[in-house]
Amino acid sequence: MSWYRNTVWFVKGLREYTRGGYESASKHFNPADVEVDVAGRSYLVTGANSGIGKATAKEIARRGGTVHLACRNKERAEVAKEEIVAETGNQNIFLHIVDISNPKEIWKFAEKFQNEHKLNVLINNAGCMVNNRELTEDGLEKNFATNTLGTYIMTTALLPLLEKEADARVITVSSGGMLVQKLNISDLQSENGPFDGTMVYAQNKRQQVVLTEQWAKAHRNIHFSVMHPGWADTPAVRSAMPDFYERMKNSLRTDTQGADTVLWLAVSAEATKLPSGLFFQDRQPVPTHLPLAWTHSPPEDEEKLMEVLEEFSQKLKSVS
């Protein structure tokens, strides 16, 4: 069955996730959806120094939004900020250095941010795919620490700030790879069996879908969404998936094409007319499971994921 799911996912990807899929879908886009002025609204984009994060930040800046770049690498982030300001003429671009794999740093950042800024839209874009099992200084498996726990802490820490604003939104950049994974709460840190970085990443992305669905139920006055950007030509893809990149490089989407649905979810009025908690691809809600796939999980597993992440979160907050 896993062979079937992987094959279906890859064939679906060849058809829909590549540049050709974007070009086909975009024929049905309404350009007016994103031709908006968002001056006065504040956006926080994690992992904003390259790829889809930077492309998203740049497009929001073009539309007059105040953009906060949350990045791990100070030098690359400063270059990205300078580029965004130069290309858009928007001076309201702010830089914050924070490692999303480090819970203590996230808590410290969020506390300071809440005291100094407002926030209308959080975009959880930062992520990693580490192909060998590595531990952070807190003893956390790095993919899990960044993609799942980091996303959880950043979001929950900033919920009080978001709840103060009208039309608050949280968008998480996931991956179609999650379609081949069923939520597994028994081995969140990939301690058992052989380590496959691609499948660990896909599991983390399934977890992000579950997080979004759970948050949408619990926080009715914030619009939550999670999305798949398609297969885009980004530095992360080149470094983490070199074989895939070489095979697919002539068909990959640009980073701006990959960021299109993030932008649409972040700025358009149309996005919030749809229910909170959905999974999007090319500006449309799409199923979170492949046909005939055994990837559905019981509600108690999804609730348990939230409980375990909250335990991790509070434990690491107390020592920060």
What is this structure's pTM? 0.94
Residues of the chain with pLDDT under 50: 1, 4
Report the pLDDT value the prediction gives residue 293, as an integer from 0 to 100.
Answer: 81
Residues with Cβ within 8 Å of 78's Cβ and at least 6 positions away in sequence, in order, are 95
Mean pLDDT estimate for the chain:
92
What is the pLDDT at residue 1?
A: 46
Cβ proximity of 114 and 251 under 8 Å: no
Q: Locate the DSSP E strands across 140-238.
A: 168-173, 222-227
Tokens 């499948």 appear where? Answer: 199
What's the DSSP call for residue 141? B
Please tell me the predicted confidence (pLDDT) of residue 222.
98
* pLDDT single digits (tens) 129-151: 999 999 999 999 999 999 999 99
The 3-state DSSP class for residue 275 equals: coil
Catalytic residue among 43, 152, 201, 245: 201
Helix axes 255-267, 19-26, angle to 10 degrees: 40
What does the alpha-carbon distance between residue 291 and residue 281 come to, in Å, rounded to a whole number? 17
Structural domains in the chain, CATH included, are 3-316 (3.40.50.720)
CA angle 133, 135, 141 (to 5 degrees): 65
Residue 124: predicted pLDDT: 98
Question: Is 201 designated active site?
Answer: yes
* Residues 291 and 238 sit within 8 Å (Cβ to Cβ): no
Give percent of the chain above pLDDT 70: 90
Q: In this predicted structure, what is the pLDDT of residue 209?
A: 98
Q: What is the pLDDT of residues 39-54, one digit of tens each?
A: 999 999 999 999 999 9
